[in-house]
Protein backbone atom coordinates (compact mmCIF):
# COMPACT_ATOMS: atom_id res chain seq x y z
CA UNK A 1 0.00 0.00 0.00
CA UNK A 2 1.27 3.46 -0.90
CA UNK A 3 1.75 5.86 1.98
CA UNK A 4 2.28 9.61 1.97
CA UNK A 5 3.24 12.01 4.70
CA UNK A 6 1.48 15.39 4.76
CA UNK A 7 2.57 18.62 6.33
CA UNK A 8 -0.54 19.61 8.20
CA UNK A 9 -1.18 23.15 9.36
CA UNK A 10 -4.79 22.47 10.32
CA UNK A 11 -6.03 25.02 7.77
CA UNK A 12 -8.42 24.14 4.97
CA UNK A 13 -5.76 23.80 2.28
CA UNK A 14 -3.81 21.19 4.20
CA UNK A 15 -7.02 19.32 5.02
CA UNK A 16 -8.00 19.26 1.34
CA UNK A 17 -4.53 18.23 0.20
CA UNK A 18 -4.71 15.18 2.46
CA UNK A 19 -8.20 14.29 1.31
CA UNK A 20 -7.45 14.65 -2.40
CA UNK A 21 -4.59 12.17 -2.11
CA UNK A 22 -6.43 9.84 0.28
CA UNK A 23 -9.33 9.75 -2.23
CA UNK A 24 -6.95 7.83 -4.55
CA UNK A 25 -6.65 5.03 -2.01
CA UNK A 26 -3.33 6.23 -0.63
CA UNK A 27 -2.78 6.11 3.13
CA UNK A 28 -2.06 9.64 4.26
CA UNK A 29 -0.40 10.33 7.58
CA UNK A 30 -0.42 14.00 8.57
CA UNK A 31 2.19 15.60 10.79
CA UNK A 32 1.69 18.94 12.46
CA UNK A 33 4.91 20.59 13.52
CA UNK A 34 4.69 22.87 16.53
CA UNK A 35 6.84 25.51 18.19
CA UNK A 36 5.83 28.12 20.78
CA UNK A 37 5.11 30.37 17.80
CA UNK A 38 2.45 28.07 16.38
CA UNK A 39 0.48 25.15 17.71
CA UNK A 40 2.46 24.60 20.92
CA UNK A 41 -0.59 24.43 23.19
CA UNK A 42 -1.67 21.26 21.32
CA UNK A 43 1.21 19.29 22.83
CA UNK A 44 -0.67 19.21 26.13
CA UNK A 45 -3.72 17.62 24.45
CA UNK A 46 -2.33 15.65 21.54
CA UNK A 47 -4.80 12.75 21.80
CA UNK A 48 -7.76 15.08 21.97
CA UNK A 49 -6.50 17.03 18.96
CA UNK A 50 -5.82 13.88 16.95
CA UNK A 51 -9.33 12.65 17.71
CA UNK A 52 -10.87 15.98 16.65
CA UNK A 53 -8.97 15.92 13.33
CA UNK A 54 -9.91 12.28 12.73
CA UNK A 55 -13.60 12.85 13.47
CA UNK A 56 -13.90 16.18 11.65
CA UNK A 57 -11.77 15.53 8.58
CA UNK A 58 -11.01 11.82 8.46
CA UNK A 59 -7.26 12.45 8.78
CA UNK A 60 -4.71 10.82 11.09
CA UNK A 61 -2.37 13.40 12.56
CA UNK A 62 0.63 13.36 14.90
CA UNK A 63 2.43 16.32 16.45
CA UNK A 64 6.16 16.93 16.38
CA UNK A 65 7.96 19.65 18.35
CA UNK A 66 10.63 21.46 16.29
CA UNK A 67 11.23 24.34 18.72
CA UNK A 68 14.99 24.02 19.05
CA UNK A 69 15.98 24.07 15.36
CA UNK A 70 13.36 26.75 14.83
CA UNK A 71 14.87 29.03 17.48
CA UNK A 72 18.22 28.80 15.69
CA UNK A 73 16.67 29.44 12.30
CA UNK A 74 14.82 32.51 13.51
CA UNK A 75 18.02 34.33 14.42
CA UNK A 76 19.25 34.49 10.86
CA UNK A 77 16.92 33.04 8.22
CA UNK A 78 18.79 32.86 4.90
CA UNK A 79 15.75 34.07 2.94
CA UNK A 80 14.95 36.85 5.37
CA UNK A 81 11.78 37.86 7.18
CA UNK A 82 8.35 38.74 5.87
CA UNK A 83 6.43 41.81 6.97
CA UNK A 84 7.00 41.05 10.64
CA UNK A 85 9.38 38.53 12.23
CA UNK A 86 8.07 35.66 10.10
CA UNK A 87 10.73 33.73 8.15
CA UNK A 88 8.09 32.02 5.99
CA UNK A 89 10.34 30.65 3.26
CA UNK A 90 12.91 29.22 5.66
CA UNK A 91 10.14 28.05 7.96
CA UNK A 92 8.73 25.93 5.15
CA UNK A 93 12.17 24.66 4.24
CA UNK A 94 12.82 23.64 7.84
CA UNK A 95 9.47 21.90 8.19
CA UNK A 96 9.90 20.04 4.91
CA UNK A 97 13.36 18.88 5.93
CA UNK A 98 11.91 17.66 9.21
CA UNK A 99 9.10 15.89 7.34
CA UNK A 100 11.56 14.27 4.95
CA UNK A 101 13.45 12.84 7.93
CA UNK A 102 10.19 11.33 9.19
CA UNK A 103 9.39 9.51 5.93
CA UNK A 104 11.06 6.21 6.93
CA UNK A 105 9.22 6.20 10.27
CA UNK A 106 5.89 6.34 8.47
CA UNK A 107 6.99 4.30 5.44
CA UNK A 108 6.02 7.26 3.26
CA UNK A 109 6.93 7.32 -0.43
CA UNK A 110 6.36 11.04 -0.88
CA UNK A 111 5.37 14.26 0.88
CA UNK A 112 2.25 16.42 0.53
CA UNK A 113 1.58 20.07 1.31
CA UNK A 114 -1.51 22.21 0.83
CA UNK A 115 0.38 25.01 -0.87
CA UNK A 116 -1.36 26.76 -3.75
CA UNK A 117 0.62 28.71 -6.25
CA UNK A 118 0.10 32.46 -5.97
CA UNK A 119 -1.90 32.25 -2.77
CA UNK A 120 0.48 34.10 -0.50
CA UNK A 121 2.65 37.00 -1.57
CA UNK A 122 6.04 35.75 -0.46
CA UNK A 123 6.11 32.06 0.16
CA UNK A 124 3.82 30.72 -2.56
CA UNK A 125 5.09 32.42 -5.70
CA UNK A 126 6.11 29.97 -8.42
CA UNK A 127 9.83 30.68 -8.09
CA UNK A 128 9.60 30.53 -4.30
CA UNK A 129 7.88 27.16 -4.35
CA UNK A 130 10.80 25.90 -6.43
CA UNK A 131 13.34 27.33 -4.01
CA UNK A 132 11.53 25.72 -1.08
CA UNK A 133 11.57 22.24 -2.60
CA UNK A 134 15.14 22.58 -3.80
CA UNK A 135 16.58 23.93 -0.53
CA UNK A 136 14.70 21.44 1.60
CA UNK A 137 16.10 18.56 -0.44
CA UNK A 138 12.57 17.58 -1.48
CA UNK A 139 12.97 17.96 -5.22
CA UNK A 140 10.65 15.49 -6.91
CA UNK A 141 9.20 14.00 -3.72
CA UNK A 142 6.99 16.93 -2.77
CA UNK A 143 3.47 16.74 -4.20
CA UNK A 144 1.19 19.76 -3.92
CA UNK A 145 -2.14 18.17 -4.81
CA UNK A 146 -4.13 21.42 -4.95
CA UNK A 147 -1.95 22.95 -7.66
CA UNK A 148 -0.13 19.87 -9.00
CA UNK A 149 -1.33 20.40 -12.56
CA UNK A 150 0.38 23.79 -12.64
CA UNK A 151 3.69 22.15 -11.64
CA UNK A 152 6.11 19.69 -13.16
CA UNK A 153 5.06 16.09 -12.42
CA UNK A 154 6.63 14.71 -9.26
CA UNK A 155 8.09 11.26 -8.80
CA UNK A 156 4.78 9.96 -7.37
CA UNK A 157 2.94 11.00 -10.53
CA UNK A 158 5.63 9.76 -12.91
CA UNK A 159 5.79 6.37 -11.17
CA UNK A 160 2.03 5.98 -11.19
CA UNK A 161 1.59 6.06 -7.42
CA UNK A 162 -0.73 9.00 -7.90
CA UNK A 163 -3.06 9.70 -10.81
CA UNK A 164 -2.13 13.21 -11.94
CA UNK A 165 -5.47 13.56 -13.73
CA UNK A 166 -7.26 13.51 -10.38
CA UNK A 167 -5.11 16.30 -8.93
CA UNK A 168 -5.97 19.99 -9.15
CA UNK A 169 -4.84 23.20 -10.77
CA UNK A 170 -5.81 25.82 -8.20
CA UNK A 171 -3.89 29.05 -8.30
CA UNK A 172 -4.20 32.58 -7.00
CA UNK A 173 -5.74 34.05 -3.91
CA UNK A 174 -9.40 33.15 -4.50
CA UNK A 175 -10.89 30.72 -2.00
CA UNK A 176 -13.94 29.62 -3.98
CA UNK A 177 -12.38 26.43 -5.45
CA UNK A 178 -11.30 25.33 -1.97
CA UNK A 179 -14.74 26.04 -0.53
CA UNK A 180 -16.42 24.03 -3.29
CA UNK A 181 -13.98 21.17 -2.84
CA UNK A 182 -14.63 21.17 0.91
CA UNK A 183 -18.35 20.86 0.17
CA UNK A 184 -17.68 17.91 -2.12
CA UNK A 185 -15.82 16.17 0.71
CA UNK A 186 -18.60 17.07 3.16
CA UNK A 187 -16.26 19.23 5.21
CA UNK A 188 -18.29 21.97 6.85
CA UNK A 189 -16.40 23.40 9.80
CA UNK A 190 -12.83 24.34 9.13
CA UNK A 191 -10.51 27.01 10.47
CA UNK A 192 -10.54 30.37 8.69
CA UNK A 193 -7.38 31.23 6.76
CA UNK A 194 -4.57 33.11 8.47
CA UNK A 195 -3.97 33.29 12.17
CA UNK A 196 -2.14 30.82 14.29
CA UNK A 197 1.44 32.03 13.88
CA UNK A 198 2.46 34.76 16.30
CA UNK A 199 5.46 35.69 14.16
CA UNK A 200 3.04 37.43 11.81
CA UNK A 201 1.33 39.43 14.57
CA UNK A 202 2.99 42.85 14.70
CA UNK A 203 3.07 43.37 18.50
CA UNK A 204 4.15 39.86 19.37
CA UNK A 205 6.66 39.78 16.52
CA UNK A 206 8.23 43.04 17.71
CA UNK A 207 8.64 41.63 21.19
CA UNK A 208 10.19 38.41 19.92
CA UNK A 209 12.56 40.40 17.68
CA UNK A 210 13.52 42.50 20.72
CA UNK A 211 14.31 39.33 22.67
CA UNK A 212 16.49 38.00 19.85
CA UNK A 213 18.35 41.30 19.66
CA UNK A 214 19.20 41.13 23.38
CA UNK A 215 19.82 37.50 24.20
CA UNK A 216 22.34 35.31 22.42
CA UNK A 217 20.94 32.10 23.92
CA UNK A 218 17.28 31.47 23.27
CA UNK A 219 15.44 29.60 26.02
CA UNK A 220 12.16 27.81 25.43
CA UNK A 221 10.52 29.18 28.56
CA UNK A 222 11.58 32.73 27.71
CA UNK A 223 9.88 32.43 24.35
CA UNK A 224 6.76 31.12 26.01
CA UNK A 225 6.87 34.01 28.49
CA UNK A 226 7.08 36.52 25.66
CA UNK A 227 3.66 35.55 24.38
CA UNK A 228 1.48 36.73 27.24
CA UNK A 229 1.49 39.19 30.16
CA UNK A 230 2.71 42.78 30.45
CA UNK A 231 6.33 43.31 29.42
CA UNK A 232 8.75 46.05 30.41
CA UNK A 233 12.30 46.83 29.45
CA UNK A 234 13.73 48.35 32.62
CA UNK A 235 16.16 51.30 32.52
CA UNK A 236 19.23 49.20 33.34
CA UNK A 237 18.59 46.49 30.78
CA UNK A 238 16.30 44.24 32.82
CA UNK A 239 13.23 42.49 31.44
CA UNK A 240 10.14 42.21 33.61
CA UNK A 241 6.98 40.24 32.79
CA UNK A 242 3.86 40.74 34.90
CA UNK A 243 0.74 38.56 34.89
CA UNK A 244 -2.49 40.37 34.06
CA UNK A 245 -4.80 37.97 35.89
CA UNK A 246 -4.70 34.90 38.07
CA UNK A 247 -4.35 32.50 35.14
CA UNK A 248 -1.34 34.40 33.81
CA UNK A 249 0.18 34.52 37.30
CA UNK A 250 -0.01 30.74 37.49
CA UNK A 251 1.57 30.37 34.03
CA UNK A 252 4.37 32.77 34.89
CA UNK A 253 5.20 30.84 38.02
CA UNK A 254 5.27 27.58 36.07
CA UNK A 255 7.46 28.98 33.30
CA UNK A 256 10.11 30.84 35.27
CA UNK A 257 13.55 29.27 35.12
CA UNK A 258 15.58 28.79 38.33
CA UNK A 259 17.92 31.65 37.43
CA UNK A 260 15.04 34.14 37.05
CA UNK A 261 13.59 36.14 39.90
CA UNK A 262 9.99 35.42 40.74
CA UNK A 263 8.46 38.62 42.09
CA UNK A 264 5.23 39.25 44.00
CA UNK A 265 3.66 40.89 47.04
CA UNK A 266 3.12 38.18 49.65
CA UNK A 267 0.70 40.32 51.66
CA UNK A 268 -1.37 41.93 48.94
CA UNK A 269 -3.10 40.69 45.81
CA UNK A 270 -1.39 41.62 42.63
CA UNK A 271 0.64 40.39 39.72
CA UNK A 272 3.21 37.66 39.74
CA UNK A 273 6.31 38.78 37.88
CA UNK A 274 9.40 37.25 36.34
CA UNK A 275 12.49 39.45 36.33
CA UNK A 276 15.66 39.01 34.31
CA UNK A 277 18.16 41.47 35.71
CA UNK A 278 21.00 41.85 38.15
CA UNK A 279 21.00 45.61 38.46
CA UNK A 280 19.77 46.92 41.86
CA UNK A 281 17.94 49.85 40.24
CA UNK A 282 16.00 47.40 38.07
CA UNK A 283 14.89 45.61 41.23
CA UNK A 284 13.57 48.89 42.64
CA UNK A 285 11.78 49.63 39.35
CA UNK A 286 10.32 46.11 39.22
CA UNK A 287 9.09 46.39 42.83
CA UNK A 288 7.42 49.73 42.01
CA UNK A 289 5.70 48.21 38.98
CA UNK A 290 4.47 45.17 40.91
CA UNK A 291 2.90 47.49 43.50
CA UNK A 292 1.53 49.80 40.78
CA UNK A 293 -0.32 46.91 39.11
CA UNK A 294 -1.36 45.32 42.40
CA UNK A 295 -4.58 45.77 44.27
CA UNK A 296 -5.17 49.38 45.30
CA UNK A 297 -5.31 50.05 49.03
CA UNK A 298 -7.81 52.38 50.72
CA UNK A 299 -6.93 54.45 53.77
CA UNK A 300 -3.51 52.91 54.37
CA UNK A 301 -0.03 53.29 53.00
CA UNK A 302 0.21 52.49 49.30
CA UNK A 303 3.68 51.03 49.82
CA UNK A 304 4.05 47.26 49.96
CA UNK A 305 6.74 44.66 50.55
CA UNK A 306 7.78 42.89 47.38
CA UNK A 307 9.48 39.50 47.50
CA UNK A 308 12.18 38.53 44.98
CA UNK A 309 12.88 34.80 44.98
CA UNK A 310 15.47 32.94 42.94
CA UNK A 311 17.16 29.57 43.38
CA UNK A 312 16.09 29.24 47.02
CA UNK A 313 17.22 32.76 47.97
CA UNK A 314 14.79 35.48 48.94
CA UNK A 315 15.00 39.21 49.40
CA UNK A 316 12.42 41.88 50.15
CA UNK A 317 12.11 45.44 48.90
CA UNK A 318 9.46 47.85 50.08
CA UNK A 319 8.20 50.07 47.28
CA UNK A 320 5.61 52.73 46.52
CA UNK A 321 3.57 52.29 43.33
CA UNK A 322 5.64 53.58 40.45
CA UNK A 323 4.09 56.74 38.98
CA UNK A 324 2.72 56.14 35.49
CA UNK A 325 4.76 58.92 33.91
CA UNK A 326 7.95 57.23 35.12
CA UNK A 327 7.46 54.06 33.12
CA UNK A 328 6.11 55.52 29.90
CA UNK A 329 8.14 54.04 27.09
CA UNK A 330 9.22 50.95 29.06
CA UNK A 331 6.49 48.75 27.58
CA UNK A 332 7.44 46.03 25.12
S1 LIG B 1 3.24 32.22 8.94
FE2 LIG B 1 4.55 31.36 10.53
S3 LIG B 1 4.17 29.15 10.45
FE4 LIG B 1 3.41 30.01 8.54
S5 LIG B 1 5.13 29.82 7.12
FE6 LIG B 1 5.26 31.85 8.01
S7 LIG B 1 6.63 31.63 9.76
FE8 LIG B 1 5.96 29.56 9.18
Q: What is the domain partition of the chain in residue ranges? A: 3-196, 228-326
pLDDT at 281: 94
Query: pLDDT-derived band of residue 259, with 50, 70 and 90 as boundaries?
Result: confident
Which residue is closest in CA terms to ligand 1's atom 6? Answer: 88
Which residue is closest in CA terms to ligand 1's atom 1? Answer: 197
What is the whole-number distance in angstroms between the Cα of residue 95 and the centre of ligand 1? 10
For domain 3-196, say whether CATH 3.40.50.150 is its number.
no
Checking if the pLDDT of 195 tops 80, the result is no
Give the whole-number percent of the chain exceeding pLDDT 90: 87
pLDDT at 44: 96
Mutate to test the pocket of ligand 1, among 193, 199, 223 (most ligand atoms within 8 A of CB): 199
What is the whole-number distance in angstroms between the Cα of residue 67 and the centre of ligand 1? 13
What is the whole-number distance in angstroms between the Cα of residue 176 and the centre of ligand 1? 23
* 143-173 tens-digit pLDDT: 999 999 999 999 999 999 999 999 999 988 8
Which residue is closest in CA terms to ligand 1's atom 3? Answer: 197
Checking if the pLDDT of 120 tops 80, the result is no
Q: What is the 3-state secondary structure (H, E, C) of the chain?
A: CCEEEEECCCCHHHHHHHHHHHCCCCEEEEEEEEECCEEHHHHHHHHHHHHHHHHHHCCEEEEEECHHHHHHHHHCCCCCCCCCCCCHHHHHHHHHHHHHHHCCCCCCCEEECCCCECCCCCCCCHHHHHHHHHHCCCCCCEECCCCHHHCCCCHHHHCCCCCHHHCCCCECCCCHHHHHHHHHCCCCCCCCCCCCCHHHCHHHHHHHHHHHHHCCCCCHHHHHHHCCCEEEECCCCCEEEECCCHHHHHHHHHHCCCCCEEEECCCCCCCCEEEECCCHHHHHHHHHHHHHCCCCCCCCCCCEEEEEEECCEEEEEEECCCCHHHCCCCEC
What is the whole-number distance in angstroms between the Cα of residue 87 and the centre of ligand 1? 7
pLDDT at 299: 61
Looking from the CA of residue 86, the nearest atom of ligand 1 is 7
* 9-67 tens-digit pLDDT: 999 999 999 999 999 999 999 999 999 999 999 999 999 999 999 999 999 999 999 99
* 206-226 tens-digit pLDDT: 999 999 999 999 999 999 999
What is the whole-number distance in angstroms between the Cα of residue 197 and the centre of ligand 1? 6
Q: Is 128 in the pocket of ligand 1 (CB under 6 A)?
A: no
Looking from the CA of residue 88, the nearest atom of ligand 1 is 6
What is the whole-number distance in angstroms between the Cα of residue 88 and the centre of ligand 1? 5
Looking from the CA of residue 197, the nearest atom of ligand 1 is 2
Which residue is closest in CA terms to ligand 1's atom 2? Answer: 197
Q: Is 199 in the pocket of ligand 1 (CB under 6 A)?
A: yes
Looking from the CA of residue 89, the nearest atom of ligand 1 is 5
Query: pLDDT-derived band of residue 190, with 50, 70 and 90 as boundaries?
Result: confident
* 227-258 tens-digit pLDDT: 999 999 999 999 999 999 999 999 999 999 88
What is the whole-number distance in angstroms between the Cα of residue 114 and the centre of ligand 1? 13
* 281-312 tens-digit pLDDT: 999 999 999 999 998 776 666 899 999 999 88
Checking if the pLDDT of 137 tops 90, the result is yes
Amino acid sequence: MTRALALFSGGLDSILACRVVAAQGITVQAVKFVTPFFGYELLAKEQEYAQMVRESYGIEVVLRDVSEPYFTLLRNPPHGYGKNFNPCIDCKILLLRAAKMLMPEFSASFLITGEVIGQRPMSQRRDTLRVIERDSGCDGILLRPLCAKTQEPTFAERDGLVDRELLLDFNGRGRQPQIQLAERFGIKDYPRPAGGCVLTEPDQAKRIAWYYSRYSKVRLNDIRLLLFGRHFQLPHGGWLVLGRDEAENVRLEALHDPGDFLVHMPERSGPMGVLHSEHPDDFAAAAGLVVRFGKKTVGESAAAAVLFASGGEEQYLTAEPLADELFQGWGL
